[in-house]
Structure 1
Amino acid sequence: MKVAVMGAGAVGCYFAGMLARVGHQVALVGRPQHVEAFNTRGLRLETKAFDETIAVKASTDAAIAADAELVLFCVKSPDTETAGAQLAPHLAPDTLVLSLQNGTDNAERLRTVMAQPVAAAVVYVATEMAGPGHVKHHGRGELVIEPAAGSRDAADALVAAGVPTEISDNVRGELWLKLILNCAYNALSAIAQLPYGKLVEGPGIPEVIAQLVTECKAVAAAEGVTLADDVDSAVRKIVQTMPGQFSSTAQDLARGKPSEIDHLNGFIVARAQAHGLSAPANLTVHALVKLIESKAQ
C-alpha cells in the first residue's frame, strides 16, 4: 500500500514509520528541516522496543502524495482547510483520508474542501520529534477509526504493522473523550512545562483537572454527545500510561509555535457560551496559554 502523511510531525511519523518498516511505501509531506533529513538519512523511529532508520520519500509539496491509497492527515487544526485544499487535487477519488488530528470537527471541515472519503481517527500515542527526521515514541499507539470506504483495509494494514486499531460507530464519542483528556492536561502541561506525571503532583492540580473535566462533561451533555468511555478512569489512565509525556501544546509553546488551544479548551469555552453554560477553569487556562503564545510573536 502507498501511504502519504500530510503534516509529517511526531504523530504522523510514528504511524508512517510503523507502516514503512513492514514494507508499505511511505511519502511524507512536512517541514523543510525534516524533509531534508528524511531524504538524506531516512526516518529514524526510536521506541522502547527498537531503534531503526527506515527509507521514506519526503517533500514540502503535497504532490508527492499522488497515487496514495491512504493518507494520514496530521496537520494542526487551524490549517485543516488550507492543507486539505492543497492535497485534494493530487489524490484519486477513492483515496481514504484519515484525520489524525486533535479536536472534534476536523473531518467535517476536511469534507468541505475534499471529495475523497474522509474518516476521523482518534489517536492515543505519546511521541515527540527529537531532532530532524527523528521521532521518539514514549508510549501507547492506538487508533480508533470512523467507518468509511476503505476503513477496513486501512485498519487491517495498521494492525498488521503493530498498531492496535479498531473501527467504531461512536467516533464522535471517542473524539469528545479525547478532547476532554486534552483539555484536562494540555494547557496545564504547557503552562508549567511539565510532563503529566510531574504535573499531577502539584498542589491543587488534581482539583483543577477535576474542574476542567466537569465543565467539559457538562458541555458534552449539552451537545448530546454519548461519551465512549468512563471519563474519570480515562483521565487517570493518561498519567499511568504517559507519565513522562509533555503535551503537544507544551511542545508547541517550548518551540515558540502557535498551539491548537483554540480547538481544545477554547472550543469548550465557545460551546459552553453557546449553551448558556460557564466554563471558568477552561476559560482561565485558555487565556493563559494565549498569553504565553503572544510573548513569542
Structure 2
Amino acid sequence: MSTPRTRVAVIGAGAVGTVVAAAAHDAGHDVVLCARRRPPRLVVERADGIRELGVPVLVDPGEATEADWVLLATKAQDVPGAAAWFDGLIGPDTTVVVLQNGVDHADRVRPLLPAGTALLPALVYVAAEMLEPGHVLHRQGARLTVPGHPDTAPAEHRSGFTAPPQAEVPPAAVPVRPARAEPGPRFAALLAGSSLEVEQVADFRTAAWRKLLTNVAANPITSLTLQRMSVIQHDPSVRALTRALLQEAVGVGARDGARLTAEDVDRTLEIYDGFAPGDGTSMLYDRLAGRATEHELITGAVVRLGDARDVPVPLNRAVLALMRGVNHK
C-alpha cells in the first residue's frame, strides 16, 4: 500500500513563498500556493537557469482543504488578511510554520489560530526578489532556522546567505508521516532532500535577534535611499549610521534576553559586506514596487522593545518615523 503524500499549503506567493513552495515540491510533497491573485505562471530563477514551477495556485479561501503543514510566508503586516485561509487549511493535526521577519512570530500569529494548533516560528535566510508577478529571482541563501531541543546547535552568528544550490535537487522519497512530535525536527524532515536547509537551534531568541540585526539597518537604509547594498558598503556617512543603528538594536536585544554583544555589530557589518553591491533588501523591493514595507515589525520592534526595556533608541526612532512617512497614504 502506498504512503499518503504530505499536503503542504504555502500562504503568500511573494518571493519567499514561491522559493519555499518550490522546495516543498522538490521534497516530494503535494503543494498548493495560496495567493491574493493568480500569477500567469510561477518561475524561480537562479544562477543556473530558469525553472517553471508546476504548483496549483488558489485565490479563493473557500477552495482550501485541510493541509498537514501550513507555511505562512506573507509579510508580517499581511497576517490579518492571510487569516482568511486558516479555517479551510487548518485541522487538528496541522502544523503552522511562520516564515517571517521579527522577534515575536508566535505572539502575533497564535491569537488568529484555532486553539491547540501547533505553531513553529522560522527565520528565513533567503535573498529573493520578485521581478514580476510569479517570476522570482533567488539571489542567494538557502537556510531556515527554527527552535530545537536544548541539545541542538547554539545560535551561531552566520549569515545564512550563501549561494543557493546550482542544480535542481531531485524529489526525495516521502517518509511515513511521523507521530505528533516536536515541530522543529518534523519540519526539518519535511524539507529533507530539497534546496533549503532547516537548522534547529536551542537559543531561538538569540537567533531571532541576530536575524533582526541583518534587517534592522540594511532594510530601512536601502528603502529610504532607494539604493542597493553598495550605499552601506561604500558611503562612509551611511556606514556610520548603519553601525549606530545596529548598536542600538544590540542594546535592546541584550536587555530582551538575547546573548548579544558588541561583536554582533561587527559580524552583521561583515554580513552586509558579503552581499554583492547590486543586491537589495526586501523593504527596498517593496518600496520600488509600491508595496507597504515591514518597518513596524523590524525597526518598530526595536523601538517598542527599547521603550519597554528602558533602552534609548533615538536613531531607530527617527528611521521609524521616516519609514512611516514614506508609507503614508
- TM-score w.r.t. length of structure 1: 0.89
Indicate whether 1:184 and 2:217 are aligned: yes
How far 1:217 moved relative to its partner?
A: 0.8
Cα distance in 2, alignment partners of residues 200 and 286 from structure 1: 22
Q: Deviations over 1:140-192 (max 9, x none)?
A: 12111124733323212323102121112222211111112211210001011
Unaligned stretches of 5+ residues in structure 1? none
**For 1:256 and 1:250, how far apart are their aligned partners in 2?**
10
The structure in which a higher percent of residues are helix is 1
1:112 aligned partner, one-letter code: P
User: 2:320: which partner in 1?
Assistant: 286
Residue 87 (structure 1) aligned with residue 92 (structure 2): no
> What residue number does 1:51 align with?
50
Show the counterpart of 2:123. Answer: 122
Alignment-derived partner of residue 249 in structure 1: 283
Are residue 66 (structure 1) and residue 65 (structure 2) matched?
yes
Number of corresponding residues: 289
SS at match of 2:192: helix
CA distance in 2, matches of 1:287, 1:105: 21
Per the TM alignment, residue 234 of structure 1 is displaced from its structure 2 partner at its CA by 3.3
What one-letter code is carried by the residue in structure 2 that aligns with 1:68?
A: A
Residue pair 1:176, 1:220 contacting (<8 A) in 2 also: yes
Q: Residue 27 of structure 1 contacts residue 64 of structure 1 at CA under 8 Å; is this kept in 2?
A: no
Cα offset for 1:81?
A: 4.1
* Cα distance change of structure 1 residues 227 and 117 upon mapping to structure 2, 3 Å threshold: farther
Identity of aligned residues (%): 31
Shift of 1:45: 1.0
CA gap of 1:275–1:230, structure 2 versus 1, over 3 A, is closer
Tell me the amino acid that sits aligned with residue 120 of structure 1: P
Compared CA separation, residues 77 and 208, structure 1 to 2 (3 A): same
Q: Give distance in 2, aligned partners of 1:62 and 1:168.
A: 34
Q: Secondary structure at the match of 2:52?
A: strand
Structure 1's 72 and 243: CA in aligned 2 closer, same or farther, altered over 3 A?
farther
RMSD over aligned Cα atoms: 2.1
Q: Which residue of 1 aligns with 2:163?
A: none
Letter in 2 for 1:203: P
Correspondence for 2:22: 17
For 1:168 and 1:271, the matched residues in 2 are separated by 23
| Closer, same or farther: CA 5–65 of 1 in aligned 2, 3 Å | farther
Instruction: Say if 1:212 and 1:282, in contact at 8 Å, map to a contact too.
Output: yes
Aligned to 2:11: 6
SS at match of 1:143: strand
Quote how far apart the aligned CAs of 1:222 are. 1.5
Which residue among 188, 200, 203 is the counterpart of 1:167?
A: 200
**Structure 1 CA distance, aligned partners of 2:277 and 2:97?**
28
Shift of 1:196: 1.4
Contact 1:121 1:144 in 2 (8 A): yes
**For 2:311 and 2:234, how far apart are their aligned partners in 1?**
30
